[in-house]
């Protein structure tokens, strides 16, 4: 096994029995959790004033470690046959979702070092550090399964999203024509009315915009009921996807000859 292949095996999710890879995984996960915790705590004024320098030092150390990890992953990714070509393989690897998350997790730090950022854009860039939490997906079987289920059910989810969008446009248009004369400020246009449509279809109902005409109230009640049913569809699709994924996972743990669990099969 070459050094590149060995390093690739260490950096990828730990296989059973690979102690070194497991230690590296736990170390990176611990850093991610601590780093995200620091990002959250530094928004508390008292903590930031007292421990601000320590938080900045910890941030710098984490970024350096994550940067080394990112560069090593790019270097050794050619050990995978999917990215075997030195240039195009590495470019393809850098465009994978997890590699993009790794990049997003570190680039705000270097942006602040190299460029003077206007105050209005400082907070959004700093909050991008929360993307580091998504790095855990590389090591979490549950998050990987979640991603696979969404990808496998993407067509069904597209259909539901299209149906919800169509329903939103229709109900917002209807409510605009019904309520506009009674409430010209609240229902001033169809795009403005879409705010009411979204909070009604999602059954959030902030109460800042609501119908007052009898016909408007009737449509509002009808749309609220439709919203409950429509938003139950994605949950049902994802639930069935998880059931299928779990069944497929359990089938992989069965002996193909006797059907018993391979972990308990003597």
For residues 263 and 201, what is the distance between their CA atoms, to the nearest angstrom? 47
User: To which residue do tokens 């930031």 refer?
Assistant: 48
Percent of the chain with pLDDT over 90: 8
The correct answer on CATH 1.10.287.70 for the domain covering 154-252 is: yes
For residues 73 and 96, what is the distance between their CA atoms, to the nearest angstrom? 12
Question: In this structure, is the dihedral angle defined by the CA atoms of residues 92, 95, 97 and 102, taken in order, positive or negative?
Answer: positive
What's the pLDDT score for residue 3?
81
Q: How far is CA 190 from the centre of its chain?
A: 31
For residues 265 and 151, what is the distance between their CA atoms, to the nearest angstrom? 33
Give residue 266's pLDDT band: very low, low, confident or very high (50, 70, 90).
Answer: very low
Could you give the C-alpha distances from 20 to 6, 23, 242, in angstroms and in order?
11, 5, 31
Which tops the pLDDT comparison, 120 or 133? 133
- Using a 10 angstrom Cβ sphere, with 0-12 exposed, 13-18 middle and 19 or more buried, the burial of residue 136 is middle
Which tops the pLDDT comparison, 226 or 94? 94
For residues 72 and 218, what is the distance between their CA atoms, to the nearest angstrom? 61
Q: Which part of the chain has CATH 1.20.120.350?
A: 3-139
Q: Which part of the chain has CATH 1.10.287.70?
A: 154-252
pLDDT digits (tens, 9 = 90+) for 36-94: 888 888 888 788 788 888 888 988 898 999 999 999 999 998 888 888 888 999 999 99
Q: What is the architecture, at CATH level 2, of domain 3-139?
A: Up-down Bundle (1.20)
């Amino acid at each position: 096994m070459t050094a590149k292949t060995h390093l690739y095996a260490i950096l990828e999710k730990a296989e059973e029995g690979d102690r070194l890879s497991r230690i590296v995984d736990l170390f990176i996960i611990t850093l991610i959790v601590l780093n995200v915790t620091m990002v959250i705590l530094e928004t508390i004024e008292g903590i930031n004033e007292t421990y601000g320098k320590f938080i900045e030092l910890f941030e710098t150390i984490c970024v350096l470690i994550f940067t080394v990890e990112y560069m090593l992953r790019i270097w050794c990714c050619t050990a995978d046959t999917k990215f075997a070509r030195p240039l195009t393989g590495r470019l393809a690897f850098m465009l994978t979702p997890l590699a993009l998350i790794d990049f997003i997790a570190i680039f705000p730090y270097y942006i602040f070092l190299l460029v003077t950022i206007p105050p209005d854009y400082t907070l959004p860039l700093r909050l991008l550090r929360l993307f580091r939490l998504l790095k855990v997906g590389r090591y979490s079987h549950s998050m990987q399964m979640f991603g696979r289920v969404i990808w496998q059910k993407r067509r069904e989810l597209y259909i539901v999203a299209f149906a919800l969008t169509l329903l939103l446009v229709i109900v917002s248009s209807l409510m605009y024509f019904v309520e506009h004369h009674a409430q010209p400020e609240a229902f001033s246009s169809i795009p403005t009315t879409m705010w009411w449509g979204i909070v009604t279809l999602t059954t959030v109902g902030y109460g800042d915009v609501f119908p007052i005409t009898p016909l408007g109230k009737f449509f509002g009640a009808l749309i609220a009921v439709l919203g409950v049913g429509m938003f139950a569809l994605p949950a049902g699709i994802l639930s069935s996807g998880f059931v299928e994924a779990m069944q497929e996972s359990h089938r992989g743990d069965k002996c193909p000859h006797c059907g018993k669990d391979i972990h308990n099969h003597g």
